[in-house]
A and B are shown apart, each in its own frame.
Chain A
Amino acid sequence: MGAPSIHEDLPGCPSVESAGAKGPLQVLTGILLRPLHHFIWANPSRRARKLLQFGEVEASGGRDLVRAAELTADPVLRARFLRHARDEARHAAMFRARGRTLRSTLTEGESGPALSEWFAPGERGIDGFDVARESDADLLAFLHLSESAAARDFARYANVLHRDAATRTLFQRVLRDEDQHMRYTRDELVRVAPERTRRILWWARMRRLWKAYLRFATALAGLIAGVVLTLQYFLLLPPFAWLAKRAARREQPGWVSIIEGKGR
């Protein structure tokens, strides 16, 4: 593509193209986000938390792939999905192990603050994709894009982990698998839908965008609702709270009698 490689300081990692950085936009995004990634990954507590979250996402993705293997009628895809699921399970175990190791080195104070549950596109696994309702081709396209996004994000993270060789190595190992997953999903998509490959991929991209919009809209709505409800809590509820507390003080502990039903 001619763009500078985001893997240039990662020996042994997949190429720029195969790691999902397909155009100047992604490269520019990578450069712009680099300070943010530095901020997130510099802190051991956040790093541990992120890795444990990745462990959960990979495990969940692995379960979805198992489900896909169980549902497909195509024996080749069944074998591919099961192998892919094993890779995801292995990644989950690796992320968890590293996250736990990092966590065990933290003091109580360091392990306290929580990180937002927000995920980057590549961190979402197959992103709530309902494998039971989709065709093999749609699933392959979605997987291909998800793996591509994951590879891109993981490569960026590895690049800012200069002081944590173990985590960096972990990302490099996972990246190699993601590269392989990207290739097989693309190859299989071409095999199962040779005439419609491009169309299906574009459709999958549109759906990912739509999901991103829905996530944003839901989060915004949740935020607004949260603010309104918090205001309501502090402005309207105090008298009711006083009444509820007074009623609670009058309640006697122990049994409460009830009357029950009778049939026929």
Chain B
Amino acid sequence: MKILGISGHYHDSAAALVIDGVPVAGVQEERLSRRKNDPNFPLAAIEWCLDQAGLEPDELDAVIFYERPTLKFDRILTGLLQNYPRSWRSYPKAMKNMLGEKLWVRGLIASQLGISTRKVQCIEHHQSHAAAAFLTAPVSEAAILTTDGVGEWATLTVGRGVKCIDGSAEINLLRELRFPHSLGLFYSAVTSYLGFEVNEGEYKVMGLAAYGLPTWMEEMRRLLRPTADGAFQLDLKYFDFLGGAESGYSQPFIDLFGPPRRSWEPIDLASDDGRRFADIAASAQRMLEDILVGIAVELRRETGLTSLCLGGGVALNGVANARVLAEAGFDRLFVPPAPGDAGCALGAALYANAILFGQPHRPMPDHPFWGPEPDSAALLRIALEDGQPATEDNEAELIEQVADALADDQIVGWVDGALEFGPRALGHRSILAAPHDAAMRDRLNRDIKYREEFRPFAPVVAVEHADRFFDLPPGGARLARFMSGVFRVRPEWAERLAAVTHVDGTARVQVVDREMAPRLHTLLEAYGRRTGIPVLLNTSFNLAGEPIVNSVAEAYSTFRRCGIDLLVAGNVRVTKPRIAQPTLLENVA
């Protein structure tokens, strides 16, 4: 069967195509439209997926949307009514928003693709998350936990999944927590309070947390209270999800924690306010972890299963994931490369294939590379047209030259194979650099990423050497495959991995094996031969406010606009004359 999965209309739209139970294409709309977290209907992503498979829309057997708009509308309307009359400002906006397009998504998809509405179906948001987490994981039976801000009504679900030998598959979600009691919305409210953008700044809260102490736990417990059945509930006095406040928190929240940070003011960790914000971040992070671990422990006890599949946007929190792995009793924790809403496009298609249509489950390729391939010949042409020094080498020679450049403290833009599906650069659209000195971290922040000093950079290490440098628990390498866990850097290496070691001695490490990313693996080995440390700094190939690059033209324009020294795509290498850089940087600054 040919099944197209679509997610969209909230943030980070995407499309994914599954043929006979196996993904053949998947891409986020932002990577094609070049608008970060593009929430629009993912027409470009759909077109690309169909082109990739050589399909016309009418050849599709089904198109699956990742959530049920009518249920979502029900939740929004009910929430507005429950907040009457405080919701009077939100009501017209919400109605215009939903009634304009979002409620009629089946008709929209049918008309955009020119197919019958009978082919278009919707499944529930957390079913999509569960399928994205379980059906892509190399495991036959596992407990499932999905958690995010909110889908239709559910904000958190637990259940179990089974892939049987006869090819059948089951996903049984047992119970759920419902809006407004949401871990994701709790964390988003804190994100907003700390002056960061919701759905974008949650990483920053996690990074900032490492600088603080959880001294606000008493206050956090007022916000989030346990229920008698082992779940939790938010005290809604402190939140305002539908009453008109765009921030998500209310005046009592401010009374409890003090004035919020204004987004335009930098965080000065030496100041009282800066320390207060860091402590609040640390407390919120601890609270989130405690709740997640508690639910996971209960799920382990209830199911008796040794593997857990974790999905939903909260699964992007690598610190919490590592604690769940360490404390919940599961041997293995699987987090897909795209656990958020974009990944729901793939999850919806897989769910339809295995559950709705009962097609046999097939083993899934264990990688995130479902997007467009780069055209290295185009890079060579563009660079030569612009008079940039560019050469095409054989692969072995190129890897050695890149390793030399990295050892010489050059920053490398690395484009290799199909684009990653998900928010993280996992070695196909990465900026690579030497991980040894804090000066490199500062240089990346200053010349390329322009981001807050408290945000760490991630390392990538070959799987054979991971334990030497990082304190990985059993199951840690699996969690680190898609950069989904934060683990301690071994103390004896922390100083020599200063650019990737966070203030608390941890790192969000990616562990790469040769099968998943052969060229990156070879490069790590070559770099290790030069420096004795086969570890590189790996950050996403993009500039602040832009999506990760997709094509070589985007990689090239990024290379031209920032302090990257060397650009590599396929076997093509473009170097930047070092003398030109001061002028360029002056222009960008």
Contact = CB atoms under 8 A, between A and B. Distances in A.
Contacts, number: 146
A71 to B, nearest CB: 7
A243 to B, nearest CB: 8
A116 to B, nearest CB: 15
Nearest to A131: B34
A243 B557 CA distance: 57
Contact of A66 (B231, B262, B561): B561
Nearest to B32: A132
Interface in A66-89: 66-67, 69-71, 75, 78-79, 82-83, 85-87, 89
Contact of A253 (B88, B159, B231, B589): B231
B178 A256 contact: yes
B344 to A, nearest CB: 16
Q: Is the interface of B mostly helix, strand, loop or mixed?
A: mixed
B135 to A, nearest CB: 10
Contact of A233 (B88, B168, B561): B88
Nearest to A66: B557
A254 B356 contact: no
Contacts of A66: 546, 557, 561
B470 interface: no
A130 to B, nearest CB: 9
29 contacts: A67-B34, A70-B554, A70-B556, A79-B386, A85-B561, A86-B587, A100-B265, A222-B96, A229-B91, A230-B91, A237-B81, A237-B84, A237-B91, A240-B81, A244-B78, A244-B84, A245-B84, A248-B82, A254-B229, A255-B175, A255-B177, A258-B173, A258-B174, A262-B168, A263-B354, A264-B167, A264-B168, A264-B358, A264-B360
B82 A241 contact: yes
Interface string A212-235: 000000000010011001100110
A257 interface: yes
Contacts of A204: none
A59 to B, nearest CB: 7
A90 interface: yes
Interface string B295-331: 0000000000000000000000000000000000000
Among the interface residues A70, A226, A240, A261, which one has the most CB atoms of the partner chain B within 10 A? A261
A156 B588 CA distance: 27
Interface string A99-111: 1100110000000
B81 A89 contact: no
Given A90-B589, A263-B354, 17 more contacts: A75-B385, A83-B587, A85-B561, A100-B265, A104-B265, A230-B91, A233-B91, A241-B85, A255-B175, A256-B177, A260-B159, A260-B173, A260-B174, A261-B170, A262-B168, A263-B358, A264-B358
Contacts of B228: 254
Interface in B321-359: 351, 354-359
B553 interface: yes
Given A82-B561, A86-B587, A253-B233, A263 B168 contact: yes
